Structure 1
């Protein structure tokens, strides 16, 4: 068994179907709001039915606040490495360090040649990829580094000034299956990114072994190579946790199966192919937390067993640990769903009991809690107990990981969280409810107009904070009094909006769901 001890991450893999561009953006926004780590997009520039990957990733990055984005994987034969390196670095800087690079040799050379690329043999493809990685990393070295000098058979870049550097150390993940590509992954890449359709779970151990051997020979720790896995599946009834088909049952089975892959095969990042928001929500809220809990519990048990030199008879088996922990978590989920509000018996429509209304209240409760924390911070500033720049830094750290993506010149993290939530409602949830129940139209019109008002108040809040940080507030008649006024306005406006939305939409959401 191999567990590299890597942190667990979860993401999605929506299809870049040009005929359903809005859906791709809605799925990405849902992943962001739900707290997933990644949104990745396949890259086939010769495919007429696909949106361009880099353009799409840029829009996704601009519309989200926390998820990282990556091509899965970039088609090197049609993406020159210098241009690719600068595209990645630019988007990484503009998104606040939220870009990674999945990279591949191309594979479908008939289509690549039709699109203007050059046909390469498997060996030439690996040579080209090796050279390209050297070019990309040299470009990323940034200002002050030596000029780029890669004189390869397939890529020759000599004398180019490097830069811009990415905002963070961008990882390069390789889509690899054959021995030579796997060895290159072990020697040089930051991650391995196979797909379940091409590398079944029972094949992972041998493929991982090839990567590990190459890493060791190159003087690298095999655990430094992240193990990612593109997965697909279908949520269904609980068919029993033993012997079930891979990712074809309940979230309970999914969680156990993915935890076992982490603990026995070392996979640590799971990227799910999705085409509905329900899949995103279930993966984010039911599967991912359970996998983390199972893996953390088993890692702690193993650590304790090693420290205490427990005998096999004293150690609880991995399977028993997984069964028990998953069962406990699923009981909690079931209890939460039973407590969700449902339409009254007098409603004409048959209730679906989706729990969507309860989820809306849960999201709103998070917003209310953060508002309380924000008010407390601002009160400290007004009382002179906290400086404005420290208060603004604290606000930037609320709710989600800090990042530098902005609305206007500056925007606090709380602003971004509210904006993400409302953006998802405006683009997905509200249109669905309009179609499902036209009588809700006046309510939805009011809510959408209130979103604009709230966002305006959020910008005023940030302007007040920036004024205090820059020292211009007092000369412009602002200062702490203006800051307190804006926070009071935000509190009354936002709390009234959330209460109205819950009064009008909880029952409707329980009846019709989010989408």
Structure 2
């Protein structure tokens, strides 16, 4: 099995009061060689920094790390505008940006901004159309005219630089298929991990849609949003009763992530450390709806205990994988991290 480059990142602080910590952690991550930092995009929340303004500022203070809005709130950012934003950021930063895309999850709050509410099916149609349109507005060439169901532009000149990779937060089958047809990466919703039922049922939908349009499914990376804790000693229960990864020692993380890459096709991880524990939005999960992912333990996660030899120094490399690192930002150990419950996703 060929293992593509595995990328590692982290969820950065997002509040106005968190600005010093945002700058400190991203600059440290940049020095230590992490691949990306992640910020949510919720323009209806007044306590949150604007994702793209913050990403642009931080990229100007760093040299290597990339930024991603995880994921962009498409209904509040009509497609031609993100195209201009990310191509500009790419040109200014030397390509250090990823376009995260979602169809919109918190429609009550989105509508509060004066945006017309779409049905789930309409939102996903607009989501796929937007990705195609955004790609057409980068990479040079002649003026673009588009007459779609949700977007219309007339003779707009594309940027001379290419649109960066597009990662989606798709959840429902229709949006998963759209990811397979037009996207470059997928962030499983609700912080589902590589042993979850959600991942096992969702990734084949992406792959089948990719094959149907002549694409290689292997070109679409899976990047997991990864809550969990890093402990100073091996944990006796690195997964909870539902089979969901909750963390452990450095050695346990290294072994688990290596298995995720080699056995389950993972090609990226975004850790949400304690400092960026997301603020719970009233409408994030909805009345009576649990924000926890549906996960079942597999044979790999039950019935076997594996000894983990701890490294003498916390170099935190993934054993057996490319020369990448698991965690290098100086995150505190033995701290629980909840899943990011308010990621806007394409649900249909």
User: The TM-score by the shorter chain falls in which range?
Assistant: 0.7 to 0.9
Task: Choose between structure 1 and 2: higher strand proportion.
Answer: 2
Structure 1 unaligned residues grouped into runs of 5+: 278-316, 337-423, 425-515
Q: Deviations over 1:337-375 (max 9, x none)?
A: xxxxxxxxxxxxxxxxxxxxxxxxxxxxxxxxxxxxxxx
Q: After TM superposition, give the deviation of residue 212 of structure 1 in Å.
A: 1.0
In the alignment, which residue of structure 2 is the partner of 1:430?
A: none
Q: CA separation in 1, counterparts of 2:274 and 2:238?
A: 28
1:161 aligns with 2:173: no
Task: Choose between structure 1 and 2: higher helix proportion.
Answer: 1
Which has the larger Rg? Answer: 1
SS of alignment partner, residue 209 of structure 2: helix
In the alignment, which residue of structure 2 is the partner of 1:21?
A: 19
CA contact (8 A) 2:227 2:271 kept: yes
1:180 aligns with 2:174: yes
- CA RMSD in angstroms, aligned pairs only: 2.5
CA contact (8 A) 1:229 1:271 kept: yes
Q: After TM superposition, give the deviation of residue 199 of structure 1 in Å.
A: 6.0
In the alignment, which residue of structure 2 is the partner of 1:296?
A: none
Superposition pairs for residues 258-297 of structure 1, below 5 Å? 258-276=257-275
Superposition pairs for residues 42-61 of structure 1, below 5 Å? 42-61=40-59
Against the structure 1 CA distance between its residues 126 and 199, is the aligned structure 2 distance closer, same or farther, given a 3 Å change threshold? farther
| RCO comparison, higher one (Cα < 8 Å, 6+) | 2
Size of the aligned set, in residue pairs, is 285
Q: After TM superposition, give the deviation of residue 240 of structure 1 in Å.
A: 4.2
Q: After TM superposition, give the deviation of residue 150 of structure 1 in Å.
A: 1.7
CA contact (8 A) 2:7 2:268 kept: yes
CA contact (8 A) 1:4 1:223 kept: no
Q: CA separation in 2, counterparts of 1:243 and 1:81?
A: 40
Aligned equivalent of 1:151, options 122, 147, 151: 147
Superposition pairs for residues 54-453 of structure 1, below 5 Å? 54-142=52-140, 145-166=141-162, 170-197=164-191, 201-203=195-197, 204-236=199-231, 237-240=233-236, 246-276=245-275, 327=309, 330-333=310-313
Q: CA separation in 2, counterparts of 1:243 and 1:193?
A: 21
Q: Deviations over 1:369-401 (max 9, x none)?
A: xxxxxxxxxxxxxxxxxxxxxxxxxxxxxxxxx
Q: Give the alignment's TM-score, normalised by structure 2.
A: 0.76
CA contact (8 A) 2:41 2:71 kept: yes
Q: CA separation in 2, counterparts of 1:99 and 1:22?
A: 22
Q: After TM superposition, give the deviation of residue 323 of structure 1 in Å.
A: 5.7
In the alignment, which residue of structure 1 is the partner of 2:283?
A: none
Q: After TM superposition, give the deviation of residue 64 of structure 1 in Å.
A: 0.8
Q: Give the alignment's TM-score, normalised by structure 1.
A: 0.52
